[in-house]
Every structure is written in structure tokens, then in C-alpha cells.
Amino acid sequence: MKYMSRFMYLVIVAAVALSACSGAATPAPVAQPTQPPAAPTSAPQPTAAPQATTAPAAAAQTFELGIDGPFSGPGAETGSEFKGSVNMAFDAINWQIGPYKIDPVWIDDQSDPAKGAAAYEQAIQQNHIQAGILNWNSSVAVSLMDVVAKYKIPHFFGFGATELVNEKFASDPAKYGYWMIKGWPSPAKLSVNYVAALEDAISSGTYTPASKTVVIYGEDTDWGRSFGKAIKGQFEAAGWKTLDEEYFPIDQTEFTPLLTKFKNLNPAVIAGTDTTEPAMTAFIKQADDVGVQSLIIADGLGWFGDWYKATGSSADYVMDQIPGWATDAGKKFAVDFKTKNGFDPSPSAAGLAYDGTNFFIAVAQEVYKEKGSLTSDNIYQFVKDNVWTGKWTYTNGIVMKEYKYTADTIPDMVVGKGEYIFPVLQYFGGQGKIIYPPDWAVQKLQAKK
């Protein structure tokens, strides 16, 4: 009996298992709803399975943005200002425009046209950038125009100011219009104020040079030669005589022989420019060491936030033309920038880069609002229809009151008081004192004593 009971037990267990495997068991009844199910809505229910008619949640999207600048090489100090400003502008919106997360692609042009073009093309092919912003050197800007035209990538606020950019743009706007707007106008539109300031001082009797003579200098780049050509013509139109004109490599930092030559020529004014901090500050310091007594125009000395640490009092009496921190927003930015980055920003580099970045952000927000998507084509078309025609302007800058472009000025902006303008100033103790235009001036022009 004991054996038979165990046998029967095993048979019963096997039968139950077999029944379960074959699906023969009948499931317990499921309660049915007493009303028809509600129609699916666009908002998914917590436990409901997705329905074919349910609108999906907006997918996370990424917008690849190229940011060009000299992040290494002779212009690296400016690149650092660019990077700090761009980060601050995008941090303020959490790097987000609509559903698009902005992914920065830093393009290091090294202040070199060929290297810059190669780096930009790599950013297009490998990182798939859809738009670009900023740029510092004019020669690089001229080179990049071909790259953005080839791939139809809208680029904003390039600082390359040379008139060669304007000429290239005008030669075929349909092609080169992708270099959409400049962040710095052609040299002739601003450099004229230096000559005007000197002539005004001569007329008022506050400046009496022994002779109206000038020497022109600058970096041997599109920017340096464009500035030199413009200001030389403006001096000569005002009756000044040019005694010499010299250009040097962008990375040169030894100027003693050149400055000794200038000293022996003894012009009333030495006028020129350089886009790199090591070169410009070395030029000013060595001019003092050599004993140059001429009044020096160093266009761009104030582009570098910490320039005075390199020049000290050698920069006293030097003339420059830069914007300032004229607004409360600008002053706050300067404080916040130093707190975040550990060095003083320049209005011309960090300040304008901040405005240029926010200009792009504002355009992108408008494009998304109107079109519902951010694409290269949508951005390009918005600028062509609205920015180039002056219908849309940017008025929330910290450096300039308004950034406005018209069909008559593109790719340059409208230049003038109340819009885009740089005052002329002289440095004393590391501080710029405005000397022109007269209604902005805080002091008169002073010659070296």
C-alpha cells in the first residue's frame, strides 16, 4: 500500500504539470469595463500601452554649433575671451533653444587662414555643424567664406573686418551670403575718427605738432594692411605726409630695429594695429624703451583684457579706439566674467563676442518660434528676409545700443552714434580717457611731455 500510494502521487503530479504546459488550464475571469474605453489622448497614460494614434512626446534634439576663434597660437588670449563669453551666454539659457540642446564645437583656427579653413571643414564633415559664430582675424575670415559657401553653413558675427570680406560678399551674395553678418565693420568706417580727433585737437589749439607727418605700421595680414591703407588715405586727405609704411609677421615680438628707424624719422604720429596681445604690448613697451616721442596710435591695444600688465606706464598717451562698459549690464558682465574666468575681459573681444553670441541665440529663438525647427536653411532665410533688410535688429547688447544691418550696409552693420561706434581715447595709468567725439570727451588730447 505504501508503494502504491507513492506511485499514484507521482502520476497525479505529472498530470497537473502536463496540463499547465499545454495551456489547458482556464484563466480566471477578467472584469470587463461597463463603459466603452475613452479615446486615446496626446498625453500617454501611466500604465497604458502606446496607441497608434497617440502623439509621441517631443524627442530630444541636438543642434551642432561651430564656434570659431584663435584658441591657440598668437591670438590665444582672444580665444580665451571668446570661450568665456560664449559659455556665459549659453549658460544663461541652459544651452537650450526649444527642444534643441546646443552642442558647441570649438573650431581652433590658430590665427592661420589655411589651418582655420581645414578645421572648419572638419567641423562640418565630422561634427556636422549646422551654423557657426564668431571669428577674429580678417585673413581667416576671407578663407572661411569659401568653406561656409561650399557647405551652405550660415555664419554669424565674424570679426574679420577687412574690406576684402565685403568685396567677396558683394561679388556673389547668393554664394558668399552664408558669411551672413560681420561683427566688426570695415576699417575705414572707424579709423577715420583718429584723424578727426587729431584735426579737432589741432583746430582747438590743444595739439600743435611740429609737422603733420605720420608713419604707418601693422601686422602683415588682410586686417593690418586694410587698416593701414584706410588710415593712410585719411591722413593724407587731411594734409598729412606719410614718411614710411611697414608691415611685419603676425607673431613678431621684437621691434627694436623697426622702432629705432621710426624714432630717427621723428614723425608726429605713428599709426597702426595688431590683433595679438604679445605683439601689440611688445611694440608699445619697446617704443618706450627706444625713446620714441611720437604720438602712437595703437588700434587694438585695449582688445586684450590684461594688456596693462604687459605695458605698464609705457602705454601712457597711446591712442586707441575701443568701446567701453558704458551700461550697467556691461559693467555687471565684466564683473561676472572675471569671477568665472579669472581675468579681466575686454569690451572689444569678450564684450562683442558676448553680444554676437546672444545675437545668434535671439535669431535662433525667432526661427524656432516661426518655423518650429532649427535648420541651416531656416536660419539663412530668416536673416536674408529680416536682418539684411533691417526689419529685425538686436537691441539687447551690453556693448552697442543696437546692431542693425540694411541692404545698403551688409555684411557690415550700420555705423554711427546710437548704433555701432567706437570712441577715440588715450590711456593714462591703464585707463582709457575718451577724447573724441567732443560730446563724449572727458578730456582733451595730450601730446607726450
Is residue 113 within 8 Å of residue 139, measured between CB atoms?
A: yes
Contact 343, 306 (CB under 8 A): yes
Radius of gyration of the chain from its Cα atoms, rounded to whole angstroms: 32
The three three-digit cell numbers of residue 238, written as one number: 587731411
Average pLDDT over the chain reads: 88
pTM of the full structure: 0.81
Instruction: Look at 12-21, 225-234, 324-333, 347-356 and tell me which has the smallest mean pLDDT.
Output: 12-21
DSSP code for 73: S
**Range list of H helices, 92-152:** 113-127, 138-151
Average pLDDT over residues 183-192: 94
> In which band, very low, low, confident or very high, does the pLDDT at 59 lie, cut at 50, 70 and 90?
low
What separation in angstroms does the CA of 89 have from each of 304, 307, 384?
Answer: 20, 24, 24
Q: Tell me, what's the pLDDT at 129? A: 98
Amino acid 31: pLDDT: 35
Count other Cβ atoms within 10 Å, centred on residue 68: 30
What letter would DSSP give residue 415? B
Mean pLDDT to the nearest integer, 13-29: 36
Cα 55 to Cα 74: distance, rounded to the nearest angstrom: 53
Look at residue 413 and tell me whether its pLDDT is greater than 50.
yes
pLDDT of residue 326: 80
Contact by Cβ (8 Å): 281, 307: yes
Given the C-alpha cell 551688409, which residue does it identify?
410
User: Which amino acid is residue 192, in one-letter code?
Assistant: V
Q: Specify the amino acid at residue 24.
A: A
Q: Which residue has the higher pLDDT, 26 or 308?
A: 308
pLDDT single digits (tens) 430-443:
999 999 999 889 99
Asked if residues 262 and 294 have their Cβ atoms less than 8 Å apart, the reply is yes
Mean pLDDT of 139-147: 98
Is the pLDDT score of 48 beyond 80?
no
Q: What is the DSSP letter of 41?
A: -
Higher local confidence (pLDDT), 44 or 326: 326
Cα of first residue to Cα of last residue in the chain, in angstroms, is 130
Residue 100 phi/psi, 5-degree rounding, is -95, 125
Contact 157, 163 (CB under 8 A): no
Residue type, 296: I
Break the chain into its structural domains and give their ranges: 61-185+345-387, 188-304+306-323+422-436
Task: Return d(Cα 157, Cα 161) in angstroms, integer.
Answer: 10
Q: How far is 331 from 105, CA to CA, in rounded Å? A: 29
Question: pLDDT value at position 126?
Answer: 98
Answer for the pair 290, 263: CB distance below 8 angstroms, yes or no: yes
Percentage of the chain with pLDDT > 70? Answer: 87
Reduced to 3 DSSP states, what percent helix, strand and coil does the chain have, rounded to the nearest 5? 45, 15, 40
Burial class (CB in 10 A: 0-12, 13-18, 19+), 46: exposed
Asked whether this chain's domains 61-185+345-387 and 188-304+306-323+422-436 adopt the same fold, the reply is yes
CA distance 192 to 231: 7
pLDDT computed for residue 120 by the predictor: 98
Q: Report the CATH fold assignment for 188-304+306-323+422-436.
A: Rossmann fold (3.40.50)
Residues 266-307 pLDDT 10s: 999 999 999 999 999 999 999 999 999 999 999 999 999 889
Domain 61-185+345-387 belongs in CATH node 3.30.420.40: no
pLDDT at residue 232, as a whole number: 98
- The two beta strands, 424-428 and 319-321, are antiparallel
The mean per-residue pLDDT over the stretch 327-342 comes to 95
pLDDT of 23 > 50? The answer is: no
d(CA 374, CA 98) in angstroms, rounded, equals 9
